[in-house]
Amino acid sequence: MYQVKEAFYTLQGEGGQTGRPSVFCRFSGCNLWSGRERDRATAACRFCDTDFVGTDGQNGGRFTDAEALAGHLAALWPDVGGRSRPYVVFTGGEPLLQLDAPLIDALHARHFEVAVETNGTLPAPAGVDWLCVSPKGENSLIVTEGDELKLVYPQPDAPPERFADLGFRLFFLQPMDRTPLGQATTTVDDTLAYCLDNPQWRLSLQTHKIMGID
């Protein structure tokens, strides 16, 4: 049984695949926060910008098996020809609580490339085509290699230097959006200054928020 908060077709807003048309599947639940505001201050991840509780969002629901969920997601891809490979991004919540090899296989069978956005604290199933790891504070990383490491910045308990030697192809800093914390939206100044001083790191802006889309 898979529990999905919401699913939608949009552009990938962040990281190395920014601008790519994508089906997003947001799984319910996370291992670092309950998702309840009253627990935020004591959670292992405290700056989350996402509602991942329940299955009541657009195209959300409970799916009994991989075929059912893969078919549901594939139906969100526009039915046109062309050269593009369909692309699905599993996020959450924490997708590695639910994503498994049968679901990846079922999407590959429908010709999808499969991307994942994870906090990196749980093992990843085989077959992921684009793996994005976004470390959270002092929580220990299990996934130490992949396509991109995308660190929300600044996190005093997760400085970029701790991750700079890991096995990722691309390294991004993404300015922390503080509006979920009831604070003024971040300026990107500190983040871009770090990138200019440490050119291994690239800037990732949350472009979907700039555009006002999902």
Ligand X SMILES: Nc1nc2[nH]cc(C(=O)O)c2c(=O)[nH]1
Ligand Y SMILES: C[S@@+](CC[C@H](N)C(=O)[O-])C[C@H]1O[C@@H](n2cnc3c(N)ncnc32)[C@H](O)[C@@H]1O
Stretch in the footprint of ligand SF4 (CB under 6 A) among 15-23, 88-96, 105-113, 195-203: 88-96
118 binds, among ligand X, ligand Y, ligand SF4, none (CB under 5 to 8 A by kind): ligand Y
Site string for ligand SF4, 48-87 (x = CB under 6 A): x-x-x-----------------------------------
Cα gap 180→132, rounded to integer Å: 22
How is the beta sheet containing 61-63 ordered, strand by strand? 61-63, 2-11, 21-27, 87-91, 113-118, 130-133, 145-153, 167-175, 202-203
Contacts of ligand Y in 2-41 (CB under 6 A): 30
Cα gap 12→172, rounded to integer Å: 15
Q: Which of 6, 14, 94, 147 binds ligand SF4 (CB under 6 A)?
A: 94
What's the min distance (Å) between Cβ of 181 and ligand Y? 8
Active site positions, annotated: 24, 30, 45, 48-50, 117, 208
Contacts of ligand Y in 78-137 (CB under 6 A): 91-92, 94, 117-119, 134
What's the min distance (Å) between Cβ of 29 and ligand SF4? 9
- List of residues contacting ligand SF4 (CB under 6 A): 30, 32-33, 45, 48, 50, 52, 92-94, 119, 136
- List of residues contacting ligand X (CB under 6 A): 10-14, 24, 50, 91, 117, 208, 214
